[in-house]
Amino acid sequence: MQSDERWLVAGLGNPGPRFRRTRHNAGFLLVDRLAARYGATFRRRGLRYRVAEIELAGRPVVLVKPLWFINLSGRPVAAALRAYGIPVERLVVAQDDLDFPFGVVRLKRGGGPAGHKGAHSVNAALGTRRYLRLRLGIGRPPKGGSTGDFVLGEFTAAEQEQLPALLDRCADGLGELVARGPDRAQQRLHTATS
C-alpha cells in the first residue's frame, strides 16, 4: 500500500444538537473522536456533508459527516467519494448496530444493511457493497420498547462512561486497517474488550 493512498471514513448519524449523543449517531461520534484526537476541524463542504482531514498510520484519511438525515446519507457519502477520487474499496462506513451488544464492534466488507436504513441508503447510492462497514453495537431496546425511541435515545450513564474507550479502540482499529489491512484490523477490533 502506497503512503499517498487516501481513505474515507464516513460516520452515519443525524445532524443537529438534538441527536448529538444518541445511539443512532455512533458513527458521527467516532469521526468526531478521530478529528479531535488528531486536531482536525470539520468544515462544511456544500450542502451534503462536513469534512475533516487527518493522517492515520501515515496515510491521509478524509472524515465525512453527511448533513442529511441518516436514512438519506448515501448520496452525501457517494458525493464525497467522487469529490476526493477515492475508490469504494477504501471507504469505511461507521454505523450503529442493534444486532450486537454495546461494546461489540465488527468490521466487514460487504453484507446487507440488516434493517439499517442508513446502510441501505449507502448501498443504493453506491450501487455496490464492496466498501467496509464498521458496526458499533448498541444493543436492543428493552422488551416491548420502541426501536425508534431506542436508537434516537441517548446512551445510558454507564455506556457514556465507557464510550470514550470504545471510540478510541475503534480509532486504533482504523489505524490498523489503513496500515495493515482488514484482517489485522478485524483481529484487533473483534477480540478486544471495551
Q: What is the pLDDT of residues 33-82, one digit of tens each?
A: 999 999 999 999 988 999 999 999 999 999 999 999 999 999 999 999 99
Query: What whole-number distance in Å separates Cα of residue 162 and Cα of residue 191?
Result: 17
Contact between 76 and 12 under an 8 Å Cβ cutoff? The reply is no
Query: Does residue 155 have a known ligand-binding role?
Result: no
Per CATH, domain 7-191 is 3.40.630.10: no
Residues annotated as catalytic are: 24
- pLDDT of 15 > 60? The answer is yes
Residue 179, pLDDT > 80, answer: yes
pLDDT at residue 160 is higher than 60: yes
* Residue 194 in this model has a pLDDT that exceeds 50: no
14 is in an annotated binding site: no
3-class DSSP assignment, residue 167 = helix
Q: Judge whether 42 is annotated as a binding position.
A: no
Q: Where does the pLDDT of residue 2 fall: very low under 50, low under 70, confident under 90, or very high at 90 and above?
A: very low
Using pLDDT thresholds of 50, 70 and 90, give the confidence band for residue 193: low
